[in-house]
Structures are given as structure tokens and as C-alpha cells.
Chains A and B, each alone.
Chain A
Amino acid sequence: MSDAQRGLFEAMGDGLRLRTRSGRRRAASWLRRLAPAAVLLRSTVGLSYFIAAEVAVPPQWSSSAAYLIVAAALSLTAALAPAGIAPLAASATVIAAWLITSSVYEDHGGLWIPAAAAVLLYAGHSAAAVAQRFRTTTTVDSEIVHTWARHLGIVAASTVAFAGLLALFTAYFAAISPAVAVGVGLVAAVTVIYVLARSLHKRSPR
């Protein structure tokens, strides 16, 4: 019997067997080549976004199945595709959830929750920035991870310091008239954006 006389189901079965075998071989090869540092960075991306999403909302929301599914799906997508739009979507979702819940629930507020959420969001963002071009099999120099961790520590410390500063002077903010507060805030925001834009375009000092 030649190939032309072979039954359709027999040919399909052969093809399926071949594909299964090659898939199993590919999976074994991928598992053998899996690089711990690259996987660690991606896990950090996913976990940071998920914990930030849980921290940013009150317990009523964080324990609901729908919110959990959305948070887990966004975190997982960000971990799997750190170079895409998923980290931005996850950050936007967390910030939106924080804005809504802090407006709806009066008792869910304070400065330490947004400070924690901010640090976690930045951890996810910076880990995604480092891991965006690494594959799960890319062997990463440990120096790269150390540099990232050091940078994250500095930023986290400065955020906590900024939160402490804000907490200390909260009483003074209430005394300022709204027009002045808006003016000062506007100037501060424009300054920060200008600094960001300038650092983007200026030449390296060294």
C-alpha cells in the first residue's frame, strides 16, 4: 500500500503522534535550558502587580472572585509579556482601583497604602523593564539582578521618605486655600514633567 492509499485517519494519527513526540522533546529541552534569573525576574513582575492590586483595594474587593481573576490575569499577562502593553494595563488598573475604592470607602485611605502600592508598582515596572528582552532560557549575569535590586531599594527608600514627609505635613495642607494648592501643585507637576523630559533629551554628564 502506498502513501496515496493510506487512510485519512491513519495519516492523521501518524501526524498527531509525530507532533506529540516533537512537542514532548521541545518541552524537555525548554525545561533543561530554563534560566533561574530570568524566571525570577518574570515572577517578580507578576507577583508585584498581583500584590499591588490586592493591597490597593479594601478586603471586600480583594477577596471577591471577579477582582481576583482580573488581578491574576493582568499580573500573569505582564509576567509572560513584560515588553508589551500588559505592565501598563496592570499599573493603570491598580491605580484606577485605588482611585475608585478610596473615593467610595472613606475608611480605606491614608498614605501608607498608596506608598506600598507605589513601591510594588515600581517593582513590577522596573523588573519588566529589565526582563523585557530576556527569554525564559536567557542566562542572566547575576550583576544585572544585583544592580536592579539596589536601584529598587533606593527608590523604595525615597518613596517611604516622601510618604513620611507627606504624612508629617498633612495638617498643613488642609490649611492652604484650594487655589494656592492647585497653583503650587501645577507648578510642581510641570517641573517634574520638565525634569523628566529634560533627562530624556539631555546629553550624559559624563
Chain B
Amino acid sequence: MSLAADPVLSLRTDNARTRAERPRERPVEWRRTAALTRAVAIAACCLIVSVAFGRVDLALIAAPFVVGTVLLLRERPERTPEARLDVGEAVCAEGDTASAVLHVANPEPVRVTTVVTAAADHWIDLHTGRGDFAERLYPNSARELLVAGRAKRWGGHHLGPVHVQSYACGGLLETTVQRLPGQKVWVLPVPGWFDSAESLPFADGVAGVHRSRRIGDSGELAEVRLYQPGDRLRRIDWRTSARSQELYVNATLSERDTDVTLILDLQIEAGESGGVDGPASVADLTVRAAGAVAAHYALQGDRVGCIEFGARARRLRAGTGRRHNLALLRWLASVEIPADSLPPSVEMLRRRLDSHRSMHVVFTPLLTERSIGLVAALARAGRPVLCVDTLPGHVAPPARSHWTPYAERLWRLARTNTVMELRDLGVAVEPWTGSASLDDVIAQLVRRRYR
């Protein structure tokens, strides 16, 4: 029995709605326009009335319509222009230009006008003259037309569909509209600048920039101890050796890399995003802050991984270097906060965290009990946790009544209490303010670790 005849495959689904047939794409073909009908109607009526009533002036009125129409219809195309959309790399940065190239070929020996109308996501602001334009195609030629717009916010945005319609004979003939489906353009977030001179705790990798607790070659003095066979001569501390009449050497702490796990709280979106130039929402601040921290540590040589605390619970394996940083930005661009999603599980997230000995940076607006519970659970488990508060300062509940300001004040007091309770648990909580904003809290964490 063939697959097509299998009765199991033709069973009706549970959905009460009948499956809509996909409309068939109409072939692109030439057709007459209202202008051609108008020209022929005016000319014919004027000539008939002119003959019927002996009015020479009506023949004169019909003359330009006859002459013009005949002149224009001398060059009639037969084959329609062929259009193809090429999005190319389909990745750009926030604030940069997202573009697609439209290839249009005119196979006919007559001139043709092509009108291009492109649509795009509202986060892609199509440039004037690059989203809705008309261009002339010369006989037997092809052109590359650019459809471009400014990407205003990170994420996956749709560029297209692009509608292409061509005209010939001065607008007397037109093609049917050709719809070219668009493609998704990934707009990478532009992370804020972040720099930190502080070492991270649990530096126990191979080689890096953080001071570890293991002895090795470095500049950080660990201890002065008695010489043992195998010690390098240049490590001998001559002053101490001269004083004690025995050979002593300087032992140093090694510098190693560490694991940084970024946990993105993506349960609730608050505030209205204004794109790269406007105010930031919670998701904007979370993504840009995570991008900045990740870029700093990944380029420094530390292993950076990401995990979502949200509906999708995605995870990016830990890695290091420039390529991993780019992959991480691409991962961050796919962040979504769906409405009415299932709440994530704290236990499940804890089970998915790889290493106990890595630095956990939680980016959270601290708006839900679940987020606070996650941070507290990580801290109680003995993991070093740094909590970056990503609630933008301008975000406030909408004014509904005269009680709103009092309610907001109470809510803010309760939130401050929560932050203080988290600090009591050993969690460093710091609002995101960009460059070097986390140095103090990282230093606190390191002191606590080496105490």
C-alpha cells in the first residue's frame, strides 16, 4: 500500500476547523490597466460621436488619446520581469542597517518600470527610498535593488515580504503582483561597555588572569618556604636566606581561568522598549548587561555559559574566546519573553547548572517570588552568586488612581527589604549601571571566598 493511500494519514484531526487550503500562487503575467481601458473608451466614444454628429472638434479631442496609445503600445513586452530576493548574511548589529538585495531581470527588449514595496517588522525602520520605490529597467538588463532599513532593536526581525509589480507602455500594461517572501534578520544586541579589574573566585582552570589558591608561577606571593630540590634558583629569597642561613624560596599563587555562568531571568517583561536609542525595558537591560559581562570575561579567557530562567529554559554551553562571544550574542538575540508562559522551575534550573565552582551572575528584575527564591537557593547551596538588578529606573506602574503613588512607594520599600534580605544571605545585589559597576560586589565576593 502506498503512503498516500494509507487511511491513517487521512484521518481527521481533533481540530474543529477545517484545514484551509493554501492559496495557489498566481503566475505573474501582463494585464491591461484601467488607464488603457480609459484611453480606448474616450477615443472610441469621441470618434463615434464625432462621426454621428459631424463634430470635428471631438475628433481633435480623441486625437492625442489615439496617438499616445498607439505610440505607447508599439513596445509591448511579452515575458514578465523575473525577481528574486537575497537576504545574504542576515545578521547585523543593533542600530546598523539590515538589508536585502532584490535581483530583477528584464528579459524583454523594451523598457519596464518596477515598483517595489517592502514590509518589515516594526523594529526595522525602512530607509526612505529603500522600502517603497520605483525604478526603471532598461531593455535586456538586470538590476540589483537594495531594500534596507535601520534595525532598532535586537532580536529576530522579519524583513519582507517584498511586493514587486512592473509596468510597461507608460502605465497601460502592468504585471500581477509578485510576492517574494521575506526572511528573518538576526539583529545582535550591542552590549554596554563593561570592564572589571577584580579577580573572580574559584579560579581553578588551566591558565587565565584570576588569582587562584594553587601554587604556581605568577607575581602574587603565597608564602616564603624552605628550598626543595626542583625549585628554580631565581625564586630564592636571598634576604630571608641570608638572615636564616638556610635557603628559602618565594612561592607564588598561579593565575587561572574560571567558569562564569550567566542566568537570565526571563519571566516578566516590564517597561516599554524604545529600541537602541530609546528607553530600555527589562529584557533590553537583561540582554545588554549579560552581553557586556559575557564579552568581558569571554575575551579575557574565562569560560562563559548562559542559561535562561524562563519559559524556554535554553542553555548555551560554556566557552571562551571571540567566536564564543559572537555565538553568545546570537544566543542572546533569540531571547523571548512570551506572555502567559509556564513558570520555570527553580529545581530544574539548579540541576542544569554544571559546576558548583563557578561564578553565577543572575540578571533579574526581582519582580517575582520565584526569581528571589532562585537567587536565595543558589546562595544557600554555597554557590557564589552575584545578582544584577535589571529593573530600569524609569519603570513604574501606570497611574490608575490617587492611591497609585502610595502603592508604588510601599512596593518599592518591600523590594528594598527583599534586596537587604538577599544581601544577608551573602548575595551581592547591584543594579546594572554599565562599566565597572560590579567591581565592588565582585571584590566583596572574593573577600568572602578567601576569608
Q: Which residues of A approach B to under 8 Å, CB–CB?
A: 1-3, 6, 32-33, 35, 83-85, 87-88, 91-92, 95, 98-99, 102, 109, 111, 114-115, 117-119, 121-122, 125-126, 128-135, 137-141, 143-144, 147-148, 151, 154-156, 158-159, 162-163, 166, 170, 173, 178, 181-182, 185-186, 188-189, 192-193, 195-196, 199-200, 202-206
Contacts and interface: CB of A to CB of B under 8 A. Distances in A.
A186 B51 contact: yes
Given A109-B57, A138-B115, 14 more contacts: A1-B401, A3-B400, A91-B38, A95-B46, A99-B49, A118-B60, A125-B42, A132-B171, A139-B128, A139-B134, A151-B72, A155-B67, A185-B50, A196-B43
A98 B170 contact: no
Contacts of B68: 122, 126, 151, 155
B100 to A, nearest CB: 17
Interface string B128-142: 110011111000000
Contacts of A84: 34
B135 A138 contact: no
Nearest to A205: B74
Contacts of A195: 66, 70
B51 A182 contact: yes
B111 interface: yes
A132 B34 contact: yes
Q: Taking chain A's interface residues, is the majority helix, strand, or loop, or is none over half, making it mixed?
A: helix
A185 B50 CA distance: 8
Contacts of A186: 51
Contacts of A115: 60
Contact of B403 (A1, A130, A143): A1
Interface stretch (B5-13, B75-83, B266-274): B75-83
Q: Taking chain B's interface residues, is the majority helix, strand, or loop, or is none over half, making it mixed?
A: helix
Given A118-B61, A158-B63, A204 B134 contact: no
Contacts of B32: 200
A133 B43 contact: no
12 contacts: A84-B34, A102-B57, A121-B42, A125-B42, A126-B170, A126-B171, A129-B36, A141-B133, A185-B50, A188-B47, A189-B51, A192-B66
A128 B38 CA distance: 11
Contacts of A158: 63-64, 67
Contacts of B221: none
Interface string B99-143: 000000000111101010100000000001100111110000000
Contact of A143 (B48, B76, B129, B136): B136
Size bracket, chain B contacts:
35 or more
A166 B60 contact: yes
A87 B38 contact: yes
B31 to A, nearest CB: 12
Contacts of B174: 133
Contacts of B326: none
A200 B172 CA distance: 10
B395 interface: no
Given A88-B42, A143-B136, A196 B69 contact: yes
B327 interface: no
Among all A-B residue pairs, the 7 with the closest Cβ atoms: A129-B171, A129-B35, A139-B129, A122-B64, A1-B401, A185-B51, A189-B47
B378 to A, nearest CB: 35
A116 to B, nearest CB: 10
B226 interface: no
B167 interface: yes
A155 B72 CA distance: 11
B60 A159 contact: yes
